Amino acid sequence: MIIDDARALLATGAVCDSCLGRPFAERSFGLTNAERGRALRTTVALADDEDFEPTDPDTCWVCEGYCGTFDAIAETVVDALSGVEFETYQVGTQVPPLVEENERLLREDAGLEPDVGESMKREVNREVGRRVGAKTGTDVDFDRPDVLAVIDLAGFDPLEAIESGEVTSHAVDVQVNPAFVYGRYRKLERDIPQTEWPCRECGGSGVQLGDDGEEPCEHCGGSGYMYDTSVEQVVRPHVVCAMDGDEGTFHGAGREDVDARMLEGGRPFVLEVKRPKTRDPDPSELEAEINEAAEGAVEVDGLRLATYEMVERVKEHDASKRYRADVVFADSVEAGDFEAALAELTGATVEQYTPQRVDHRRANLTRERTVYEIGGELLEPTRAEVRLHGAGGLYVKELISSDDGRTEPSLAGLLETDAEVTALDVTGVEGEDEPFEREAYFRDEPRS
Ligand SMILES: [Zn+2]
Ligand SMILES: [Zn+2]
């Protein structure tokens, strides 16, 4: 009988309502453990016709007072989160081992299963969480909350906290999870890397050691970078600033060569902002700001507030690519032969042995990639513009040049002359099976 269990628990010593109710936490959804405990204490007193004696947490041998500190903890959590905008939270608690031992002893002394009901950890998480939610108008999220508060019960004295209504801020560690902005970028000039590229001579420090001590690095002119700027450096500061965060990380859906432009449809990216104080800046304002500051070298488009999952999506989602290439031939090419070669390459499955220009630390292997579509125009007998759409991972420069026969078939091979790409632009990066931009990955409404 439940009343016998309650009587046995009360016989172990002074037990507060929460600690008395917690072994019965699986009964009667909608009650707090304190309400369960209070009802059981009342029932036992009535059944045995004894005086009703409430037991406050500060005299409870099990929780040693912690069950009386939920309000004080919540107050401290809300304080620690002041100035941070969030919609969802989660609370985690570290319970001192001695208190966990008390919980086990309570049940054991009363002849109950050692882990019956719920743990104190869960009760603190829920009770503090409910209070934080009510004070801030936010919702609990067990999966991926905007903020996480971790409470270390050993970090404060529960009796002092009950007395003062406060908990030292050292006992609460607040973590703010990153926020994400998705968009597409275009790179309208060549020789702009996608991400920051520290100088290889000075390691990014911008200085080298001369006869008279430190002097500006000769290789990078003291900037610390191989190139003056990067897409990342153009985009990141504005997004970090708009979200009032600490720092940002750029995630691209693949990358083009430094000397290739990224035109037309652009390339998807996600900018991740660490410790944002604001999670919902106006994406169209942000976009205008970035584009104005970039002065034409880089453009961004279609900025949206994105979910955490969008990072993996831009990195992993299979994408086909569109290209535009300037091609130069060693010998004159007949228009008819040029057309025939392109027709032969359309829909072709190309075998490509790892190109000579690719990092030699990468394993050499032959892979197959499909050319979905290829067309072009012979501008002069030895000069052409080629446009193509191919599967992700297709080496385009080698499709044109043959890379000394390592790519088969190739435009050079079919025309039986050397061919070289002198300028390459990526004109589109598109999801193979479905677009990158699915609504499930966005946190804001589509822009009209
Ligand atoms: Zn207690
Ligand atoms: Zn340098």
Structure confidence at residue 365 as a pLDDT band (50, 70, 90): confident
Report whether 395 belongs to an annotated binding site.
yes
Q: How many angstroms from the chain centroid is the CA of residue 411?
A: 41
Taking residues 36-43, what's their average pLDDT?
96
Dist. CA 233 → ligand 2 center (Å): 17
Taking the CA of 65 as reference, the closest ligand is 1
* Per-residue pLDDT at 228: 83
Dist. CA 18 → ligand 2 center (Å): 64
Taking residues 23-51, what's their average pLDDT?
94
Asked if pLDDT for residue 53 goes beyond 90, the answer is no
Q: Which fold has domain 179-209+217-317?
A: Alpha-Beta Plaits (3.30.70)
Per cent of the chain over pLDDT 70 is 100
Domain 319-431's class?
A: alpha beta
Taking the CA of 106 as reference, the closest ligand is 1
What distance in Å separates the CA atoms of residue 18 and residue 70, rounded to the nearest whole number?
11
Placement of tokens 């304080």 in the chain: 79
Q: State the amino acid at position 339 in one-letter form.
A: E
Report whether 323 belongs to an annotated binding site.
yes
Taking the CA of 207 as reference, the closest ligand is 2
Q: What is the largest CA-CA distance in the chain?
A: 111
Task: Convert 171-180 to b/e letters by CB count within 10 Å (16 or more is b).
Answer: bbbbebbbbb
Per cent of the chain over pLDDT 90 is 86
pLDDT tens string 283-302:
999 999 999 998 889 999 99
What distance in Å separates the CA atoms of residue 363 and residue 250, rounded to the nearest whole number?
27
Does residue 257 carry a catalytic annotation?
A: yes
Dist. CA 234 → ligand 2 center (Å): 20
* Active-site option among 152, 257, 337, 444: 257
Distances from the Cα of 160 to the Cα of 102, 103, 168, angstroms: 20, 22, 10
Nearest alpha carbon to residue 63 among 116, 119, 11: 119
- SS3 of residue 334 by DSSP: coil
Dist. CA 15 → ligand 1 center (Å): 5
Domain with CATH 3.30.70.2510 in the chain: 179-209+217-317
DSSP H or E run through 291? helix 283-294
Placement of tokens 């304002």 in the chain: 285
Dist. CA 247 → ligand 2 center (Å): 23
409: preceding bond cis by omega (within 30 degrees)? yes
Structure confidence at residue 177 as a pLDDT band (50, 70, 90): very high
Taking residues 381-392, what's their average pLDDT?
97
pLDDT tens string 434-446:
999 999 999 999 8
pLDDT tens string 348-363:
999 999 998 876 777 7
Residue 326 tokens, joined: 């300037």
What distance in Å separates the CA atoms of residue 213 and residue 359, rounded to the nearest whole number?
35
* Per-residue pLDDT at 185: 98
Domain with CATH 3.30.70.3190 in the chain: 319-431
DSSP 140: E
The rounded mean pLDDT for the chain is 94
